[in-house]
Structure 1
Amino acid sequence: MLVSEGERLVIMDETAIRRALIRIAHEIVEKNKGIEDCIIVGIRTRGVYLANRVAARISEIEGTKVTVRELDITKYRDDRSEIADVMVELANMPGDTELDSKLVKNKKVILFDDVLYTGRTIRAAMDAIMDLGRPQNVQLAVLVDRGHRELPIRPDFIGKNVPTSKQEEIQVQFTEIDSIDQVTIIH
């Protein structure tokens, strides 16, 4: 659904996001032949919300809960000079959310982020995961793939491919922190 709002173009509304996440949940179950030995990891901040939403769908499909954890990649970023520059806003997160080495070893780690662009965030997340232990494999799920990769990183599960120019920006908003579910391109 494309709706223009001045300099913003809405490319996914609440319904489109919900449908994309339902499809991703089914694809994850199919690719992994269930969810045994799977752990879902959301990259702070918006990747955490995606991970939780997809995990809820997978639980409905499979009739069992899947482990969900969050990953803070701040110290692994190559574009931050100071950790204090990064403000992490987490609302309504359950108590035991941190990722640890016991959960990673020999597991299928399904990593979630909202937008895939250059690949640097995903590289930082993979470095953080490998520092915790050796997973069986790492799979990548993103809501939006906008292209312009600087690293050879490719998602396994994609909500929507959105070709963009480098001058454009993709903004993802979720009700958990923004009071609305939508994805927009800002020109």
Structure 2
Amino acid sequence: MQAEAIDGLIHEMAQAIKTRLEVQQAKDPVMIGIHTGGVWLAERLHQLLHINRPLGTLDISFYRDDFTRIGMNPKVKPSQIPFEVEDQHIILVDDVLQTGRTIRAAMNEIFDYGRPASIMLATLVERSGRELPIQPSVVGVRPPLTNEQQITLTGPDPLSLIIGTSKQETRGIS
């Protein structure tokens, strides 16, 4: 998917988030992006939504339920939550939602910082394959993909979505 199409989706997501915040009467929300693609997306949404407080970032590597199986991840980045989590309305942003395990890990980490008033999940891509009962509040696109196809957000500038198969073939989403 080309940068212009992704920008259009991001603008639609920002409008959907604004609407949900108004309905929930959630004043002064904060935003957290999940490394890496979720942070890229969150940076754009954060700017479009004119959120006053700094953007938070999470690296959920140590919170993954398969951490003991995969061992140490040499690319672990520190999480940065530059605001109090307690009683905040949090917009949690990730690039792709599939199994739900990344989001579960992110919520576990958030709750280690405090108890938020609410968490709204915004994801650019939702695909099938859910293993946990987690659903997004705001979605950019739900492309029909087979189980063999993988999707990757590349960026940060420009952002593009790439679909690949186990044979490493790739193509943009249209």
Q: CA deviation at 1:181?
A: 2.3
Counterpart in 1 of 2:146? 165
Judge conservation of contact 2:154–2:160 (CA < 8 Å) in 1.
yes
Query: Map of 1:150-161 to 2, 5 A cutoff?
Result: 150-161=131-142
Q: TM-score, normalized by length of structure 2?
A: 0.84
| Shift in CA distance, 106/25, structure 1 to aligned 2, threshold 3 Å | same
Is 1:49 the equivalent of 2:36? no
Q: Percent identity?
A: 36
Q: CA deviation at 1:147?
A: 1.4
Q: What number of residue pairs does the alignment pair up? A: 162
Counterpart in 1 of 2:122? 141
| Shift in CA distance, 46/79, structure 1 to aligned 2, threshold 3 Å | same
Moved over 4 A (4+): none
Is 1:131 the equivalent of 2:122? no
Q: Secondary structure at the match of 1:148?
A: coil
Judge conservation of contact 2:59–2:77 (CA < 8 Å) in 1.
no
Whole-Å Cα distance in 2 between the matches of residues 68 and 44 of structure 1?
12
Q: Which runs of 5+ in 2 are unaligned?
A: 166-174
Q: TM-score, normalized by length of structure 1?
A: 0.79
Q: Which amino acid aligns with 2:2?
A: D
Q: CA deviation at 1:80?
A: 2.1
Is 1:122 the equivalent of 2:89? no
Whole-Å Cα distance in 2 between the matches of residues 123 and 57 of structure 1?
26
Using the TM superposition, name which of 112-121 and 162-171 deviates more: 162-171
| Shift in CA distance, 66/23, structure 1 to aligned 2, threshold 3 Å | farther
